[in-house]
Chain A
Amino acid sequence: MSTLVQGNRTRLLFLLRYLAMIGLALVVFALLLLLFGKDPLRAYIDILSSTLGSSYGITEVVVKMIPLVLCACAVMLPARIGLVNVGGEGQLYMGAWLATWGALTFSQLPQALGIPLVILLGFIGGGLWALIPAILRAKGWLNEVISTLLLNYIAILFVGYFVFGPWRDTASANFPQTPKFVDAMRLPQFGDTRIHLGLFLAIAAVVLIYLVLRYTVWGYDMRAIGGNAEASRRNGLPITKTMLMVMFIGGGLAGLAGVGEVMAIEGRLRPNFSPGYGYIGFLISWLAGHNPVGVVMMSFLMAVLTFGGDTLQITQGMPFATVNIIIALILFYCTGQVLSAESEAVSYGYVLCHRGARRRIAGGHCRTLRRPG
């Protein structure tokens, strides 16, 4: 019982530290705005009133949150076993691509089949794309950081080829885009808002990941592999299988984000339809310490800020991208929290004099913002 109380207290402290970091970022941003002759107070009021001050604003924040949460999950899941997925962006595009293929090919299907089809295809598209780096990594051929990064460019160009080429809508000659999807393939939207079915997919993803990690034997395997890969190997845990599985599911979730954007918001596939959701998802997952609850909170914050950016452009004449500064500042405070406790000399000496110590120290340096307890 007492440990439970203690756990809650550390969690509270942790939360407070987060809030302090965000607050600090906001203060620095305010100073920056002053420097550029803007009114920071007005800016904050504008951001808040435009997003949380109206029902329209709130729904738009939710719309923005859907791809962010899904893309963050695509990073979080592999990160739990120590894999770095910088490829959310490419997986999102490939998910959208395969779903679009399905929507264009099977356009006669009824809605009851069409929607599950595009969702499934989107998941598979993103998943398979993420499986490439996973296999390369499992074979020991190429580190997944580089391969996921490079595959992003390839995916975007690949989608570009189809949108400019075979799938191009001849009716809209000026815009490179596919024809509008038939209604049977469109994810339903709620009322007159732009919130769509993807919301439930995102919620399901977060809840499932949380439950799997916490309660199931697969979650146990993942936590063990992420905690200490060597000990897991020595105890016969299925490392390769878990690696492939986690990347497939992660990529699939990013693919679902693509499905949501294409099948609900846009209604057609366009080139460059994602404003970097994959990368923002990466940052969100990092900010949240790869924690499902944190991912939702951070996605909310990011959604408010990005949507608020539009407002600042209108009311204050500030460029939309200005809010990126706040995002970056918050991240800086979070990533910059680690400090190696050991002095340089001692740790280097330790490495030199003890075989096998090198890896341990390298691991210690990079352990950023782990969950408490």
Chain B
Amino acid sequence: MKCLYGFYRPTSGEILIEGRQVHIATPLDGRQLGIGMVFQNFTLIPAMTVAENVALFLPALGIVLHPKAIQARIREVATRYGLEINPAAHVFDLSMGERQKVEILKILLAGARVLIFDEPTSVLAPHEVDGLFAIFDKLRQDGYAILFITHKLPEVMASAQRITVLRRGRVVGQLMRDEATPQAIVRLMLGAEPPPPVQREGLANEAGAPLFEMNTLSLVDEHTGIGLKEVSLQIFAGEIVGVAGVSGNGQSELADVALGLRRPDGGAFILAGQDASHWSTATILAHGLACIPEDPLRMEAIPGMTVVENMVLGEQLRYTAMGGLTMNWTGARKDAELFLNTTFVTTPPRLDWPVENLSGGNLQRVVIARELSRQPAVLLAYYPARGLDVSNAEAMRQLLLSYRSKGVGILLVSEDMDELFALSDRLVVMYHGRIVGTFRPHETTADEIGHLMTGGSRETTREGAN
């Protein structure tokens, strides 16, 4: 899509507009060809007014601005498509839904005929979504072409005429609205049917107290509007809880709260039997929480430091000597070597290399090894197999299982259905900051999970065993 709008240049193939082949090198080219795009992060400037934001994209803008005329044009288009907004308002005063209206106004006034929407509903409240679809209908009747990118099936079924399914950069199917069923689309999206879940003996010990617990925990996120909504989640010793969901539905916020980086706005977070809602990160880590994050280079590694220096991050106090005057690097090296060697099958990265020189997979291994070296009681693992090659990914899975059998409680966040079904003792589905379903893996199907994580409303959301 970014190709079409001109942010990336295609490496091969061609783009046809009204039958003519065109070259789109910059967003300006795209705009002049009548392509308009509503991005996930809006391209609005909060400090400016609606009229100014729209004026920026007007094709024939005079040297002197005439706010009255611009406002009049905005009002005219706005009333026709139900996009009423006060043109003199500052964008920072607007809600997410209103900002989206401004985005749409902007590309309409810029003369776009092909409108691309990249996950437009992710920032909207449910009642606003219906409003958006009403706008889609009006636009369609006036001859605009709309490309609506989403991972939410009900929305596709409600609004689209033609459906194209993409998986890993490839078109895997095209359906007309009439011949499409949610099941067919989910199947296309997920690829082959997932294997039957593995039954493992020694289920979690749910008789004891949970190691990690969130009670109707809420987090308000003004930026994305998702946050967390009354999330209740428990992890018991020796249990892997899988979290299914499209990324950006509250998973990273979950870790932020658990690590004490953000304070919950409601509910409680309980770690090792104590209320940890207001603990510092250091205290939380000292109580046995470890986290393998979704983006290790940005979130857990220090560029400019070597592998071994990164291995002691967070544990640096354990390796101090002489009251902090020096650090015991020999000990740190030994431990780092031990963990890097035992955790993975292929040769580990060199200890004195700067981490920014490592491949993504090796960096992931360093971070995993470090988090495990903390002897955690609870491990939050976000997409842990990302970047690893097949054999190391398998080793990583075995590792999770072995920690599980040692009594560690593990939260596994993944988009890989196979992985979730194979490893989880319990599966929860997150959608829009909420937990919308809890299952035993053998009691559900990938279809059902896929349905829920794309916003399907199941009347009978079965509760899990608890």
Q: A–B direct touch, CB within 8 Å, in complex? A: yes
Q: Taking beta carbons and an 8 Å cutoff, which residues of A are in contact with B?
A: 3, 215-218, 220-221, 223-224, 227-228, 230-238, 345-346, 348-349, 352-353, 355-356, 360, 370-371, 373
Q: Is B387 close to A, CB under 8 A? A: no
* Residue in A215, A233, A360 whose CB lies within 8 Å of B325: A215
Chain A, Cβ-Cβ closest to B328: A217
Query: Which residues of A have CB within 8 Å of B299?
Result: 230-231, 234
* Residue in B9, B26, B298, B327 whose CB lies within 8 Å of A216: B327
Q: Give Cα A180–Cα B224 distance, bound, in whole angstroms.
A: 64
Q: Give Cα A223–Cα B304 distance, bound, in whole angstroms.
A: 9
Known contacts A231-B302, A345-B7, A370-B304, A237 near B314 by CB under 8 Å: yes
Chain B, Cβ-Cβ closest to A218: B324
Query: Which residues of B have CB within 8 Å of A346?
Result: 7-8
Q: Can you list 26 contacts pairing A with B, beta carbon distance less than 8 Å? A: A215-B327, A216-B324, A217-B324, A220-B327, A223-B302, A223-B305, A224-B316, A230-B298, A231-B302, A231-B313, A234-B281, A234-B291, A235-B285, A235-B313, A236-B280, A236-B282, A236-B284, A237-B313, A237-B314, A345-B6, A346-B7, A349-B2, A349-B8, A352-B39, A355-B40, A355-B41
Q: Is the CB of A216 within 8 A of B281?
A: no
Query: Which residues of B have CB within 8 Å of A221?
Result: 316
Count chain B CB atoms within 10 A of each CB in A221, A232, A352 and give the residue with the most: A352
Q: How many A-B residue pairs have CB under 8 A?
A: 103
Count chain B CB atoms within 10 A of each CB in A216, A217, A230, A370 and give the residue with the most: A217
Q: Is the CB of A352 within 8 A of B41?
A: yes
Known contacts A223-B302, A349-B7, A236 near B285 by CB under 8 Å: yes
Q: Give Cα A348–Cα B6 distance, bound, in whole angstroms.
A: 11
Chain A, Cβ-Cβ closest to B280: A236
Distance in angstroms from A355 CB to nearest chain B CB is 6
Q: Is the CB of B8 within 8 A of A224?
A: no
Distance in angstroms from B179 CB to nearest chain A CB is 31
Chain B, Cβ-Cβ closest to A225: B302
Q: Is the CB of B325 within 8 A of A228?
A: no
Query: Which residues of A have CB within 8 Å of B352?
Result: 3
Q: Is the CB of B300 within 8 A of A235?
A: yes
Chain B, Cβ-Cβ closest to A349: B7
* Residue in B41, B43, B280, B317 whose CB lies within 8 Å of A217: B317
Q: Is the CB of A353 within 8 A of B324?
A: no
CB neighbors of A among B278-303 (8 A):
280-286, 291, 293, 298-303
Query: Which residues of A have CB within 8 Å of B284?
Result: 236
Query: Which residues of B have CB within 8 Å of A233?
Result: 261, 281
What 4 A-B pairs come out closest when comparing CB atoms? A349-B7, A235-B314, A236-B282, A227-B302
Query: Which residues of B have CB within 8 Å of A218?
Result: 324
CB neighbors of A among B77-136 (8 A):
118
Q: Is B340 close to A, CB under 8 A? A: no
Q: Is the CB of B317 within 8 A of A231?
A: no
Distance in angstroms from B42 CB to nearest chain A CB is 10
Q: Give Cα A221–Cα B320 distance, bound, in whole angstroms.
A: 12
Q: Is B354 close to A, CB under 8 A? A: yes
Q: Is B309 close to A, CB under 8 A? A: yes
Query: Which residues of A have CB within 8 Å of B354?
Result: 373
Known contacts A217-B327, A349-B7, A373-B354, A231 near B40 by CB under 8 Å: no
Chain B, Cβ-Cβ closest to A370: B304
Distance in angstroms from B215 CB to nearest chain A CB is 23
Chain B, Cβ-Cβ closest to A211: B325
Count chain B CB atoms within 10 A of each CB in A216, A220, A221, A373 and give the residue with the most: A220
Q: Is B276 close to A, CB under 8 A? A: no
Query: Which residues of B have CB within 8 Å of A232?
Result: 302, 313
Q: Is B248 close to A, CB under 8 A? A: yes
Known contacts A353-B40, A355-B41, A217 near B301 by CB under 8 Å: no
Chain B, Cβ-Cβ closest to A359: B298
Query: Which residues of B have CB within 8 Å of A353?
Result: 2, 7, 39-40, 118
Q: Give Cα A373–Cα B248 distance, bound, in whole angstroms.
A: 36
